[in-house]
Chains A and B, each alone.
Chain A
Amino acid sequence: MRVAIPVWGSRVSPVFDAAGLLLVVDYAGDREVKRHLVELPTGPLSGLVNTVLASRTEELLCGAISRPLLDMLQGEGISVTPFLAGEVECLLEARLGGRLADPCYLMPGCCRGRRHRQRGRGGHHRTAGRKEP
C-alpha cells in the first residue's frame, strides 16, 4: 500500500492545494518499507493531480482541500482522508492504528460523524508534541 501525505515542516500541510512537498510511504502490511519526497507543482490543479497519480499513491492523507481537487482525486480512484491536522508521524501511526477519526487528528469542525466541540473560550488546547514549522 502506498500512502502519501503533504508535509509542511513536521506537520501535515494545512491546505493541500497549496502544498509544496508530498511524503510518499510504502507499506507491506503494517510495516513501513520505504519513503520518499515528491515536489508538488504550483499552478493549475491538474498538475497536482497528475503528480499524485504519477507517484502511484493509493491513499492520500491531507489537511484542508478544495472540493474540486478532492472530487478530481477521488474521481481518479485515490482514497482521500482530508481535513487532518498535526504531526505527520503521529498521523501515519494513527492510520496504522485505525485512529484517524479521533478528534485530536482532525482539523477543527471535522468530527467524521461525531459531534465534538471544545467548551469554553479560554484555554489553549494544544496537541502534545505539536511543533510549529
Chain B
Amino acid sequence: MTVGVWSDPVGFQPAGTYLGRGGGNGTDVRSKLSEIIFDSISDGVFTVDRDCIITSFNRAAERITGFASDEAVGKHCFDVFRTEICHKQCALKDTLKTADPVENSRVTIITRDKREVPIRVTTTLLRDRQEQVVGAVEFFHDVSELEDLRDSLDRKRGLDDIVSVNARMQQLIKLLPDVAESECNVLIGGPSGAGKELVAQVIHNLSPRRYGPYIKINCAALPAPLLESELFGYEKGAFTDAKRAKPGQFSLADGGTLLLDEIGEMDISLQVKLLRVLNNGEYQPLGSTRTCRTDARIIAASNANLRQEIERGNFREDLYYRINVVDLEVPPLRDRPEDIPLLVNHFLRSFRSRRRKVISSMHPDAMKALRRYAWPGNVRELQNAIEHAFVMCHGDEIELGHLPLLVVSRNEVVGGVAYNHDTERQVIVETLQRHNGNRTRAAAELGVHRSTLWRKLKSYGLVS
C-alpha cells in the first residue's frame, strides 16, 4: 500500500471528527460516497484524533477485531486495538509525534473474543484541508491465514516449534544449539509421545548438517532381519526376492542425520553392527563383501530405561556409552501441566488452518479437565484429543462434551496421580460393545490412538 498523507480526497468525515469541509448537499453526497468506499475497503481502517481516541472504524476493522464500530468509536485506541507495542512503540503515536508513516509492521492483536491475531499495520497522518494534523489513520490486515500456511509449508522446524514454558524444557531448549553444533551422538530419553522426535528434528535443523538428509527409523516397528536390511541395505541376490540392490538408511543419511527411534527395542545382534558404525563409520550391506562408509550423525531415542535394559542383558553397555555422549530427557506432559494451555492454543491454530473451522477457544471447564488428566500418551495424546474435539465441535468454542470420553471420565486428583481405573475400564468396555468389538472405531470414539487402546485393553486384562 502506498503511504502518504491521507487528506480526505472526497470530503468524508469519519464519525466524531471534523476534517474541514463545509456543509451542503453536495458535501453530504460526497460524504456518503466516502463512507461507502471506507466500509468497502478489504483492509481494516480506523482513524484516531490527536489524543488517540478512535474516530472511525470501518467494516473490515469490525470483522478483524470483532468490535462493532459503535463499541470502538470514542475509545482510546489501546483499549480496542490491543497489541504488544501499545506500551512502548505505538505506531500511531509515533506517526503523530514524528509525522513519519509506519509501514507494514507486524503486531499481534487481542480481539474482542480474546483471540490473538497476527496483523500487519501501516499508519499515516490525517490532515484537514488546511493541512492541519487532525489525527492519524491506521490500515491493517489479518495475516493469520498466511502465517498458518507458511508454517505448514515450512517443514524446517526450529526452537520456536518446541512449545513449552516448563523450566526443565527451557533448560533443554537452551542446550539444543550447542548440542546441534557439536555433532556428537545424542541419546534422547522420555516417554512415548513426549516430543523426542521433534527434539531430534530441531537438533538436525540447527546443526551444520541441516542441508543434508534427515532420516528417522523406528527400531520397534520392524523385525530384526528387516531392520538390518533397512539400516545397512543389501546387494542383489542377498536373499530371496532381493532382485536388485537397495541402499540402506546409513547410506541415505550420509552427510545428514539418522534418528534411531526406540533403540532399546533393537535386537542385540544388530547392536554389535551398530556399534561398529558408531566407532568408525563402517558397515557391510547384507550379502556384500565390500565395506561401506557413512558420515551420518546418529541420534538415538528411547522410552525405555536403557540402564535397566543393560542390567537385564537386553542392551549392550558399550553401545550405551557410545550413543550417550549427550543425554537429553524430555519430561512427560503430566510433569509440565503449565504447557497444556500453550499446546492447546498451538494445536487449535494448527487444526483451524487445516480444517477450516472457526474454533478459537476452549471453555474453562474443558481446559480444567485437560489439566487434570494424566496424559499417559503425552503431547501426542493431547494432540489427538484436540483433533477429536475439533471433529465434535460445531461452534466456536470447545466444551467439555467435545473432549474424548477417556479424558473426561478420568476421576483423578490434581497432578494426575490417582485415577478411577474402574470408570475407565467401564468406558472402554461399553465403547467396544457399541462398536461390536471393532477397536479402530472404538479408539476413534474414545479419542485415542488404536495402539493406546490396545495397551489399555492389555492392562485391564481385556485381551489375552
Chain A interface residues toward B at CB < 8 A: 8, 13-15, 17-20, 44-46, 49, 63-68, 70-72, 74-76, 83, 85, 107-109, 117-126, 130, 132
Q: CA–CA, A83 to B361, complex, Å?
A: 17
Residues on A with C-beta less than 8 A from B361 are 67
Q: Are A117 and B337 in contact (CB under 8 A)?
A: no
CB-CB nearest in chain A for B49: A124
Q: CA–CA, A117 to B70, complex, Å?
A: 7
Q: CA–CA, A69 to B86, complex, Å?
A: 18
Residues on A with C-beta less than 8 A from B88 are 18, 20
The reply on B144 being an interface residue by CB < 8 A is no
10 other A-B residue contacts (CB within 8 Å) besides A14-B78, A122-B15: A8-B87, A20-B87, A45-B165, A66-B110, A68-B345, A75-B337, A75-B341, A83-B114, A107-B82, A120-B15
Q: Which of A18, A68, A85, A121 contacts B70 (CB 8 A)?
A: A121
Q: Are A46 and B170 in contact (CB under 8 A)?
A: yes
Task: Name B343-361 residues within 8 Å CB distance of A.
Answer: 344-345, 361
Contact digits for B256-285, partner A, Cβ 8 Å, 1 yes 0 no: 000000000000000000000000000000
Residues on B with C-beta less than 8 A from A65 are 110, 114
Residues on B with C-beta less than 8 A from A125 are 74-75
Q: Which listed segment binds A: B61-69, B242-250, B325-333, B435-443? A: B61-69
Chain B contact residues, majority secondary structure: mixed
Q: Are A107 and B364 in contact (CB under 8 A)?
A: no
Task: Name B87-111 residues within 8 Å CB distance of A.
Answer: 87-88, 110
Q: Are A124 and B74 in contact (CB under 8 A)?
A: yes
The reply on B115 being an interface residue by CB < 8 A is yes
Residues on B with C-beta less than 8 A from A122 are 15-16, 73
Given A44-B165, A121-B16, is A15 in contact with B84 using a C-beta cutoff of 8 Å?
yes
- Residue of A85, A108, A117, A124 contacting most chain B CB atoms (<10 Å): A108
Contact digits for B110-121, partner A, Cβ 8 Å, 1 yes 0 no: 101011100000
Q: Are A123 and B74 in contact (CB under 8 A)?
A: yes
Q: Are B70 and A119 in contact (CB under 8 A)?
A: yes
Q: Which of B79, B84, B344 contacts A18 (CB 8 A)?
A: B84
Residues on A with C-beta less than 8 A from B337 are 75
Q: Are B83 and A15 in contact (CB under 8 A)?
A: yes
A40 → chain B closest CB, angstroms: 10
Chain B interface residues toward A at CB < 8 A: 15-16, 49, 51-53, 56, 66-76, 78-80, 82-88, 110, 112, 114-116, 165-167, 170, 337-338, 340-342, 344-345, 361, 364, 367, 371
Residues on A with C-beta less than 8 A from B52 are 132
Q: Are A14 and B70 in contact (CB under 8 A)?
A: no
CB-CB nearest in chain A for B80: A108
CB-CB nearest in chain A for B110: A64
Q: CA–CA, A17 to B107, complex, Å?
A: 13
Q: Are A66 and B116 in contact (CB under 8 A)?
A: yes
Q: Which of B16, B341, B344 contacts A123 (CB 8 A)?
A: B16
Chain A contact residues, majority secondary structure: loop
Q: Which of A67, A72, A117 contacts B114 (CB 8 A)?
A: A67
Q: Are A67 and B345 in contact (CB under 8 A)?
A: yes
Q: Are A75 and B371 in contact (CB under 8 A)?
A: yes
Residues on A with C-beta less than 8 A from B170 are 44, 46
Residues on A with C-beta less than 8 A from B74 are 118, 123-126
Residues on A with C-beta less than 8 A from B71 are 108-109, 117-118
CB-CB nearest in chain B for A19: B87
Residues on A with C-beta less than 8 A from B70 are 117-121
Q: CA–CA, A18 to B80, complex, Å?
A: 15
Q: CA–CA, A74 to B345, complex, Å?
A: 15
CB-CB nearest in chain B for A111: B71
B55 → chain A closest CB, angstroms: 8
Q: CA–CA, A117 to B170, complex, Å?
A: 44
Q: Are A13 and B166 in contact (CB under 8 A)?
A: no
A129 → chain B closest CB, angstroms: 14
Q: Are A67 and B341 in contact (CB under 8 A)?
A: yes
Residues on A with C-beta less than 8 A from B80 are 107-108
Q: Are A68 and B87 in contact (CB under 8 A)?
A: no
Q: CA–CA, A58 to B116, complex, Å?
A: 26
Q: Are A46 and B166 in contact (CB under 8 A)?
A: yes
- Residue of B49, B112, B338 contacting most chain A CB atoms (<10 Å): B338
Residues on B with C-beta less than 8 A from A45 are 165, 342
- Residue of B79, B84, B88, B116 contacting most chain A CB atoms (<10 Å): B79
A29 → chain B closest CB, angstroms: 29
A124 → chain B closest CB, angstroms: 5
Q: Are A68 and B342 in contact (CB under 8 A)?
A: yes
- Residue of A17, A71, A74 contacting most chain B CB atoms (<10 Å): A71
Q: Are B165 and A49 in contact (CB under 8 A)?
A: yes
Q: CA–CA, A76 to B341, complex, Å?
A: 12
Q: Are A67 and B167 in contact (CB under 8 A)?
A: no
B448 → chain A closest CB, angstroms: 23
Residues on A with C-beta less than 8 A from B82 are 14-15, 63-64, 107
Q: CA–CA, A72 to B340, complex, Å?
A: 8
